[in-house]
Amino acid sequence: MFGPDICGYSTKKVHVIFTYKGKNHLIKKEIKPETDVKTHIYTLIVKPDNTYEVLIDLKSVQKGSLYDDWDMIPPKIIKDPKAKKPEDWDENEEIDDPEDKKPDGYDDIPKQIVDPDAKKPEDWDDESDGEWEAPMIDNPEFKGEWKPKKIKNPAYKGKWVAPDIDNPDFVDDPEVYNVVKSNGVIGFELWQVKAGTVFDNILVCDDAEYAKAQAEKNIVPLQKKESEMKAEQDKQEEEKRKAEEEERKAKVKILTRKPQPEFSPKFSTKVLLAHGGTLFPGPGALRGILNRLGSSNSQRLNRACGLQNLHSRITET
Pairing assessment for the beta strands 59-65 and 77-79 based on DSSP bridges: unpaired
More confident residue, 68 or 291: 68
Sequence-distant (≥ 6) Cβ neighbours of residue 161 within 8 angstroms: 79
Q: What is the mean pLDDT of the chain?
A: 82
More confident residue, 230 or 300: 230
What confidence category does residue 249 fall into, taking pLDDT thresholds of 50, 70 and 90? confident
- Do residues 50 and 160 lie in contact, with contact meaning Cβ atoms separated by under 8 Å? no
pLDDT at 123 over 60: yes
Residue 189: closest CA among 10, 9, 21, 24: 24
**Model confidence over 57-103: pLDDT tens digits?**
999 999 999 999 999 999 899 999 999 999 999 999 999 999 999 99
SS3 content of the chain, % helix, strand, coil (to 5): 25, 20, 55
Angstrom distance (rounded) from CA 285 to CA 282:
5
- The whole-angstrom distance between residue 196's C-alpha and the CA centroid of its chain comes to 29
What confidence category does residue 278 fall into, taking pLDDT thresholds of 50, 70 and 90? very low
**Model confidence over 14-26: pLDDT tens digits?**
999 999 999 999 9
What confidence category does residue 37 fall into, taking pLDDT thresholds of 50, 70 and 90? confident
Residue 108: closest CA among 147, 61, 141, 137: 141
- Do residues 146 and 102 lie in contact, with contact meaning Cβ atoms separated by under 8 Å? yes
What confidence category does residue 229 fall into, taking pLDDT thresholds of 50, 70 and 90? very high
pLDDT of residue 126: 85
pLDDT of residue 255: 66
If you count DSSP H runs as helices and E runs as strands, how many of each does the chain have, helices first? 4, 14
Angstrom distance (rounded) from CA 198 to CA 201:
10
Angstrom distance (rounded) from CA 300 to CA 304:
6
Residue 65: closest CA among 176, 229, 226, 170: 176
Angstrom distance (rounded) from CA 307 to CA 311:
9
pLDDT of residue 288: 55
Integer angstrom CA distances of residue 297 from 166, 253, 266, 281, 289: 106, 26, 14, 17, 10
Question: DSSP class of residue 122?
Answer: T
pLDDT of residue 262: 55
Among 31-45, 61-75, 206-220, 276-290, name the one with the lowest average pLDDT: 276-290
Query: What is the rounded average pLDDT of the residues 297-311?
Result: 48
pLDDT at 257 over 60: no
pLDDT at 313 over 70: no
pLDDT at 275 over 90: no
Q: Kindly report the pTM of this predicted structure.
A: 0.56
